[in-house]
Every structure is written in C-alpha cells, then in structure tokens.
Structure 1
Amino acid sequence: MKKIKVGIIFGGKSAEHEVSLQSAKNIVDAIDKDKYEVTLIGIDKQGSWHLNDQSSYLLNAENPKLIQLNKSNDNVAIIPGSENNQMIHASNGTGLDKLDVVFPIVHGTLGEDGSLQGMLRLANIPFVGPSVLSSAICMDKDIAKRLLQSAGIHVAKGLVYTSANKGTISYEKAAAKLGTPMFIKPANQGSSVGVSKVKTKKEFEQALALAFDYDNKVVVEESIIGREIECAVLGNENPKASLPGEILPQTEFYSYESKYIDEKGAELAIPADLPEDTTKQIQQVAIAAFETLQCEGLARVDFFLTEDGKIYVNEVNTLPGFTKISMYPKLWEISGLSYSDLISELLDLAMKRFEKNNRLKNTVWDD
C-alpha cells in the first residue's frame, strides 16, 4: 500500500514555540509509520522554514524548558497555486515531494490564528484543523466571546482595551464592574501566555503591561468561581465530543508552566467526576460552541462549571497541545480513541474537507 505523505509543520514565531516542538515530537512518535510517510518542517523563531531529519530535528528533546529546534541548512518555501511543487528548496528552487496532507501543529500567533491556514489554502494543501475564518475568530478571545454570547452560550463578563486607548484604563472602574480578583489576558494568545490573576491596583497595572507586551488588544475578565472542565471535539459536519476532563490546579491558576512544564502544577481528573446529565450538557455546549465558531477537524472547549450548575465557555482552542500531558489526546484516549488513531482520524478529516471544497465551482460560466 502506498503511504500517505504527511507534512508536520511545527515551531513558529510565537511565544508558544517550545510547546509546538513538544507537540510535534509526540505526534512524530505516535503516528502510524506503516500508513504515513512523514516530512518534518520546522519554523524557527525568526520565521524561516527548515526541512528537518527525523533523527535530529530537536535539541534537548526530553527537557521542556530547554527544548529547541535544530535548524537545518535546507530552507523551504511554499509556492501558491502549484499542482506538483507545493514546496521548494529555497537554495536551488527544486521541488519537494508533493504532500498529501499537512498537520500544522504551530500553536499561537501566526500558527493558529488563520495566517498559516491561509498560506496552506493558497498552496492547495489539505491541512488538519479549522480553516482561516474559524482559526482567526477563536484566536481572538474578544470576538469569539461576542459570537458565543450571541448564540446564547454563557461567557464571563469582561472589558476590552486596545493599545490606542490603554491610557484610559482605570483599575477602579474595572473592579467596580467585574469585582476582584480579575483575569487580564492578551486577546490573541494561547496556553495562558501573558495571563495574570490580579487583586490589587499594583497587580492590575503590572498585568496590563505584561499583556500588552504580547498583544495590542487586552481582555479583562471577571473571575468565575467554579470547576475547570475541558472537552475535546472532533469532526467536520457531524462533530462528536469526548468525555470531559477536569483541571485541578495546584498553583494560583492553570498557567503556562502548569500546562507544559511542571507535571505537578496541576492534577488532571480524566474523566471528570460529574453526574451523567452534567456530562451530556457539557458535551452539548462544547459541540454548540464548536459549530457557532465554524470549527472543523478539532478543538478543545474549556469551561467553568459553577456550584449552581451554570456552564461558562472560557475559551475554544483550535490547535490544542499534543504534548504527553495535554488534555486533548488524553480525553480521546479515555473516550476510546488511541493517540495514534486520533492522529489518523484528524488527517482523514482534513483530506475529506479538502475533497469537499475542491468540488466547489470557481468559474461563472461552464466551458
């Protein structure tokens, strides 16, 4: 049987670069080698694309604090619109073998915000995960929550500030509207990068400065007291939801460190200890959020579950972490889908969507 040629694109210029390297390593280790032939393309922090060898694409691969992309001397570039040479060697212009599908496991800015997805669409390459519109919407916490709220899905109350009006931000006004503590977040980041929990004016001002280091738009949200629940969603037209899991942070909140570096930073209850009707309700809301935000392929929906049973969507992540301690693959494992089979399912969904889109007409008149 001819193997399917899979490109795994990883790394990137965002603050989540190292998380992406870990995700790529886990996917490479788990993918069905009998079914797929893997091409590794690592993006360094300057944005250059490197064709990497599986035996040497990472440095310090077992240490999440020191992990690095091992840059190659073979840079590659995408060629929009080409049927055969979707990518070329930058040094001499010769083509790489044609890829059947790409898994773009690039977290954060320029990876899951629609930028990379748009480039892959221009190159006519099928890819895992939501397309341009959904990726961009879900990356922007402000826009995503407006759409969720319009669909009748509960979200936290918040205030939005941009770099243009940050001089008007008042701790007193924010606290009067949202109460304390508050959460301050860059609007367009993931993995809790730049996120702070604040209780005082001094903490508020420091957290704003940190958040504006990562984005030109910042969201200030009320703190919702509740259990942190996550649910994985998989599919295109008829998505399905996994059993929910629960995050039990051992620190102030579920931070970047807790998610990807400190295995003791949070306990994961998988599946979450919930009544059957609550589990079903969370799964229904997860699918509703997935569809409201036009997701395809995969997404992880993060919730707060309050003591009185109210369900709030906190975030929808379109390229969730695939590290060894990441929730998305763990939730599907407990729901009956192994890590390797999950990767195969995602690649299959990507190719089916590509075939469906290719049936659309791109001319007004038939020849």
Structure 2
Amino acid sequence: MTTATREPVDTPPKDPAPRRVLSMVGPQNLSLIGALIVVVAIFTWLNSGYLTWDNVQVIGEAATVAGLLAVVQTVVIICGAMDISVGSQTGVASVISAMAFMSTGHNPFLGMAAAVGLGVVIGVVNGLIIVYGRVNPVIATLAGLAAYKGIAQLISGGRAQGFVLGDDLFIFIARGRIAGIPVQVWILIVVAVLVHLMLKYTDIGRNIYAIGGNDTAARLAGININKYLIAVYALAGIVSAVAGIVLTARTGSGQPTSGSEGLELQSITAAALGGCALKGGKGGIGGTLLAVLLLGALNNGLNVVGVNTFWQNVAQGALLVVAVIIQQRRSGERAVGLPT
C-alpha cells in the first residue's frame, strides 16, 4: 500500500524586519527623523541646556499654532489646492475671540464660539470664490491673506484687544498641563489625530486623495468635487480659528497680526517637508507633524545659540525650496526650460 505524498507548498518569504520598519515609517519620514536627530545633536553640542524637558516643552508650545495650520494645510494640499490665508485667518479669529469674550461679560465659550463661527464663514467664502468664481486657489487665498489681515486691523484699530488671562479656561489653555504635557500641545495632538483618522479610514479621506490625485477621474467616479473643496476650506477656517484661540490664550489678548504673520509660509513648508505633493493626491499627517517638530527644533535652537531671528525665515524658505526640489526629482519631471 502506497501513501500519497503531498507536494510542499511554497510560502512567500517574509520581508526582513528593517524593510518592514522602513515600510511602516516611510522613507520620507525616516529622512525627517534623521534630520531632527542631527539638528538636536548640533544644538545640544552648542548649548547643553537645549535638550532639557523644559526646553522641549517650550519647543512644543511654540510650534502649536503653526502645527495646527500645517495639519489643515496638509488636507488642503492633498485635495489639490492651497490656502495662503491661514495666517490672516488666525489673526482675525484671535481678535474676534478676545472681543467677543470681553463684550459678553467675560464668557470664554461665547468668545471661542464666535471665533470658530467666523472661521467657518471665512472658509466657506474662500471655497465659494474658488469654486464658483473659478479663481485659482493660490490667487483667491492670496487675496484673502490681505483682506483678512485688513479686517483684523480694522476691527481692532491695529492694537491688541481685551485681556483673557483673568479667565480660568484661557489660563488653562495657556499654562495648563495634562500628564506633564502642555495643554496647547494636547490640542494639536487631538486635532492631528482626528484629521489623520478622517484621511486614512473614511470615505471622505479617500475621496480627498482621489480629487487631488486626478480630479477628472474623481468627477467621473461621482465625487462632488465642488462640495469637497468648499468643505475642505471650511475645515481650514475652523482649525485656523482654533489656532487663533490658542494664540489669544498664549498672548493674553486678541492679536491682529503679532504672532500670526508668516504662519502661512510655515504651514506650507511643513506640509511640503512632510511629503505632501504640492500638486495634490499625496501626503499624510505623520510626516507633517515630524516636519513641524523639525522646524520648531531648528527655530528654537537658533534662538538658544543667539542667532538673529531673521535667519529663521531664511532657513524656512531654504527648506521649502529643498523640499520642492526633492519632490521634483522623485517625480521625474523635467526642469522648467530645460530639454528632457
């Protein structure tokens, strides 16, 4: 009696552990982590007080407002657009939150609700101009950058408005700690996690990627692109308003321009460094947060070692150019004006 022998079944070889780790982290994020380690090592060598828990908290708090805007800028860029007005939106929301707080008998919830409500209105207006006015997003939000900054200065007279640090809630946002971590940083973490979950695990997120990747295919698939664009800009307005509330709490008053100027550059730089393709369809919140941390560590390090703060803008501009060059090289696109 013979027994049948079973043929061995070939099993695909498992990826080695380093490759799996690289796949999970992503090569773009791995390079950001490496750059962050180098920056921290350099500034720790130059100043022994740089890598302390107190200074780490300072870096986190200083990066919160820019981080919030970078997170929502990531969503806008993935959708194939851009919002250059987020810094001005933050300024006008800061003023409104403080003025509403003062005029409602020092009610922090009404002050914050007024700021968020204004953020929704501004975001929808941006979206409507882009969709139904058929204006390029860069031009539309560049106009918004000037207009919202002007509105903030007009309603405030160009001065800081109100004083909110007599209120427990604003004090908690400005100086509170949860598990030893500043409340401002927790606000950034919560917003980032919610946006990440939306992008990665919902149909809304998948549709946003689809629109940015190929809007024609997305339209043929039945996605209402106009509705999504307006909604994405409304989200940008809401998160900008939250950033304005954090700015108000941090400074103790509504700030029409101080603290919000240049935030649009920081948000776009962080998104680009984090791996967002400026043409849309690619990017993620994890990379953006790493880029925010890298920029925060760099800016703080320059301050700690006594470098002129104007060099921070130079560094941010240079990093943005480097990020775009890397994207262009990876995409294989030819240089402008040069033969293929």
* TM-score, length basis structure 1: 0.24
| Higher fraction of strand | 1
**Structure with greater helix share of residues:** 2
User: Which of the pair has the greater relative contact order for Cα pairs under 8 Å at 6+ separation?
Assistant: 2
